[in-house]
Amino acid sequence: MKYLGIDYGSKRVGIAVSDANATIAFPRATLVNDGTLMAKLSDTVKNEKIERIVVGDTRSHGGGSNPITAEAEKFTEELARETGLSVSRAFEVFSSIEASRYAPEGALKDDAAAAAIILQRFLDMNASR
C-alpha cells in the first residue's frame, strides 16, 4: 500500500510518498498553498497510485490548538472528499526542526523532508498492523 505524507502550512505544503510496501518515506516536493494545491495533490494521488494519506497533526505537543489548526483540519476534510481516500493524522511536533538538518544550504527548512519525517513516523508506528 502506497502512502502520501503531507506537512501542511498556510504558505507551503510539503509532500512525501512511501514505497509500495509502506516501509520508507521519500520527500517528493514542496507546493505553494494556493488555488491549485488540491488539483496538484489529486494529480499526485493518481500518478503515484496512492492508497492512503497521512497529514501532520498541527496541534502542539500538549495537544492544544494553534493558529493553523482549524485551517489544517478544513484542508484535511477537503482532501478526503476530493480524493475519496482515507486521511489519517500523525504526530508532527518537531518534524520541521528535524527536517531543517536536511534543508538546502541557506534554507531554514525543507517542507518535503518534514513531510517525509511525518510519514515515516506514521509508517513505523503502524508497521505491525
**Which of the two residues, 124 and 91, has the higher pLDDT score?**
124
Backbone dihedral region of 104: left (phi > 0), alpha (psi from -120 to 50 degrees) or beta? beta
Q: What is the mean pLDDT of residues 42-53?
A: 98
Taking the domains of the chain in order of start, what are their residue ranges? 3-125
- pLDDT bin (cut points 50, 70, 90) of residue 91 is confident
Q: Give me the amino acid identity at 119.
A: L
Cβ(5)–Cβ(54) below 8 Å: yes
**What is the C-alpha to C-alpha distance for residues 27 and 113, in angstroms, rounded to an integer?**
5
Write down how long the chain is: 129
Does pTM surpass 0.75?
Answer: yes
**What is the C-alpha to C-alpha distance for residues 17 and 115, in angstroms, rounded to an integer?**
9
Q: What is the mean pLDDT of residues 92-103?
A: 53
> Does domain 3-125 fall into CATH 3.30.420.140?
yes
**What is the C-alpha to C-alpha distance for residues 59 and 64, in angstroms, rounded to an integer?**
5
The pLDDT tens digits for 7-18 are 999 999 999 999
The pLDDT tens digits for 57-81 are 875 556 566 677 889 999 999 999 9
